[in-house]
Chains A and B, each alone.
Chain A
Amino acid sequence: MNIKILGTGCANCKKLYAVVEEALVQTGIQAELAKVEDVQIIMRYGVMSTPALVIDEMVVSAGKVPRVAEVSSWVATAAMKEAAAI
């Protein structure tokens, strides 16, 4: 699984990063976690408010820091989809 955090280095972007790390620990799911700070790449996802969360190239949240439980459920859904694809 591939998780990207889109944001230009604001305080909430760091918070979102921590929330995602926590969600991955809680769910025990393995994922590649990366920050994307280049505005032009951020724009390609159609995101106009940061921080945004992208899981497997899908924008699941933008402009807010979701709760750990929400991120966990998104990550779990993505993991199920990946398992179904294999």
Chain B
Amino acid sequence: MSAVKRGCCAGPAQASNIVPTASMPAGVGPAERDWSLYRRPAALAASLVAWFVSYHYLPVFAAWFTYDLLGLDPASRLGSSVAFFVYDAPKVLMLLVLVVYVVGIIRTFFSPATTRRMLAGRRESVGNVMAASLGIVTPFCSCSAVPLFIGFVTAGVPLGVTFSFLIAAPMVNEVALVLLYGLFGWEVALLYVSMGLLIAVVAGWVIGRLKVERLVEPWVYETMAGEVAEERPLFTERLRTGLDAVREIVGKVWPYVLAGIAVGAVIHGYVPEDFMASIMGRGAWWSVPLAVLAGVPMYSNAAGIIPIVQALLEKGAALGTVLAFMMAVIALSFPEMVILRRVLTPKLIAVFVGVVASGILIVGYVFNLVV
């Protein structure tokens, strides 16, 4: 018997017998099993309470640590730098853990397969909006961009809708959101998310209008894509997936976050205000295109780029310019182009980069004008 089913008949309902679950060891009686189900939520609730208490008292702790324990002068440069680091580093890491955990759990309710089912045969415009939004909550790694692309287009997801997904998925992510919220406040975080979504929707829609299907490598449409049955995970498995996400994502980005906050702390204490204003301020019209041009060849995740963003903003660079830089770095990366080259012709890659870069440019300019 094979789990690989072709066509549309592989609904999740039949899937329960496919994957043997490892979570319930054989021989555990029903009573014991019930208790183990409650143990995890109880530990979870306790951790949540501990999280909120620690978060609440963090400013008190940071001030005590810097000024009382280390005996630094609040007015000194060193004191100001250390206070910044001691408060911001734990704050951002704690936010990161919580949000990555919650998003990790939310993502267990979505998969590329369910997203594809929702998008297949969808009209453009509505499809673009849905694809961009689903891009946030669907688990995605740019290393599987190719199978995902083929899976989407062969299942009848329109090309432009597929692009909306591929643009939003890396650009609007929980790490960027947390760092922006933690360092610049919810307004900037919200701005980033809504602009990221807007660019993904509009750029995907434009690519759809351009009718560039012939610029996809021809073998893509000839690929026989199978469909795999999925089973619904248990609630405890969802919680565990959240923990796995924390371990994997926070485990990977924490050195960048700390390094970034350290850079931010040094700048906070030592570099004069408005240092960047002359180069990347609102007055310099060429700063936005320059930021995008500088951003495209750079390859970094959100965690790596935020420290630079922090440094630029703090010292007087305009918000639109900095957002444009950040979006260009995250959304348009050279390695991803190389990966996508296997399914897209160079011309279509150029169209993709051009449309997205234009969107980022417009967002940058509009922000510099409005904010």
A60 CA / B146 CA spacing, docked (Å):
21
Contact of B225 among A11, A43, A58 (CB under 8 A): A43
Instruction: Report chain A residues within 8 Å CB of B19.
Output: 60-61, 74
Instruction: Report chain A residues within 8 Å CB of B268.
Output: none
Contact in complex: A12, B143 (CB < 8 Å): yes
Contact of A49 among B148, B219, B244 (CB under 8 A): B148
Q: A60-B19, A74-B20 are in contact. Are A44 and B226 (CB under 8 A)?
A: yes
Give 1 or 0 for each of A45-86: 1 = CB within 8 Å of chain B CB. 111111000000111111110010110111001000000000
Contact of A47 among B22, B228, B244, B342 (CB under 8 A): B228
Contact in complex: B3, A58 (CB < 8 Å): yes
A11 CA / B116 CA spacing, docked (Å):
25
Contact in complex: B244, A48 (CB < 8 Å): no
Nearest residue, chain B, Cβ from A40: B223
Give 1 or 0 for each of B142-163: 1 = CB within 8 Å of chain A CB. 0110111011101000000000
Nearest residue, chain A, Cβ from B19: A60
Contact in complex: B228, A45 (CB < 8 Å): yes
Nearest residue, chain A, Cβ from B155: A48
Within 8 A of A (CB), among B113-162: 113, 116, 139-141, 143-144, 146-148, 150-152, 154
A48 CA / B5 CA spacing, docked (Å):
14
Contact in complex: B225, A44 (CB < 8 Å): yes
Contact in complex: A10, B141 (CB < 8 Å): yes
Answer whether residue B369 sits at the interface, using C-beta atoms and an 8 A cutoff: no
Answer whether residue A29 sits at the interface, using C-beta atoms and an 8 A cutoff: no
A67 CA / B226 CA spacing, docked (Å):
26
The CB with the most chain A CB atoms within 10 A, among B3, B10, B227, is that of B3
Contact in complex: A48, B2 (CB < 8 Å): no
| 28 residue pairs from A and B, CB less than 8 Å apart | A8-B147, A10-B143, A11-B143, A12-B141, A39-B147, A39-B150, A43-B150, A43-B224, A43-B225, A44-B4, A44-B225, A44-B226, A46-B228, A47-B147, A48-B112, A48-B116, A49-B140, A49-B141, A49-B147, A50-B141, A50-B144, A58-B2, A60-B3, A61-B19, A63-B144, A72-B22, A73-B22, A74-B22
The CB with the most chain B CB atoms within 10 A, among A12, A39, A46, A69, is that of A46
Contact in complex: B226, A46 (CB < 8 Å): yes
Contact of A50 among B143, B219, B223 (CB under 8 A): B143
Q: Which residues does B use to contact A, with CB under 8 Å?
A: 1-5, 10, 18-20, 22, 111-113, 116, 139-141, 143-144, 146-148, 150-152, 154, 219, 223-228, 244, 342
A57 CA / B258 CA spacing, docked (Å):
44
Question: Given A46-B225, A60-B20, A77-B20, 19 other A-B contacts at CB below 8 A?
Answer: A8-B146, A40-B219, A42-B147, A43-B151, A43-B223, A43-B225, A43-B226, A44-B4, A45-B228, A46-B4, A46-B10, A46-B228, A48-B147, A58-B3, A59-B228, A60-B19, A63-B112, A69-B22, A73-B20
Contact in complex: B116, A45 (CB < 8 Å): no
Instruction: Report chain A residues within 8 Å CB of B4.
Output: 44-46, 57-59
A23 CA / B291 CA spacing, docked (Å):
48
The CB with the most chain B CB atoms within 10 A, among A7, A8, A61, A63, is that of A63
Contact in complex: A48, B148 (CB < 8 Å): yes
A3 CA / B148 CA spacing, docked (Å):
22
A58 CA / B18 CA spacing, docked (Å):
8
Instruction: Report chain A residues within 8 Å CB of B10.
Output: 46
Contact in complex: A39, B146 (CB < 8 Å): yes
The CB with the most chain A CB atoms within 10 A, among B4, B154, B224, is that of B4
Give 1 or 0 for each of A21-47: 1 = CB within 8 Å of chain B CB. 000000000000000000110111111
Instruction: Report chain B residues within 8 Å CB of A49.
Output: 111-112, 139-141, 144, 147-148
Q: A8-B143, A49-B112 are in contact. Are A64 and B151 (CB under 8 A)?
A: no
Instruction: Report chain A residues within 8 Å CB of B147.
Output: 8, 39, 42-43, 47-50
Instruction: Report chain A residues within 8 Å CB of B228.
Output: 45-47, 59, 62
Instruction: Report chain B residues within 8 Å CB of A46.
Output: 4-5, 10, 113, 151, 225-228
A10 CA / B148 CA spacing, docked (Å):
15
Instruction: Report chain B residues within 8 Å CB of A44.
Output: 4, 224-226
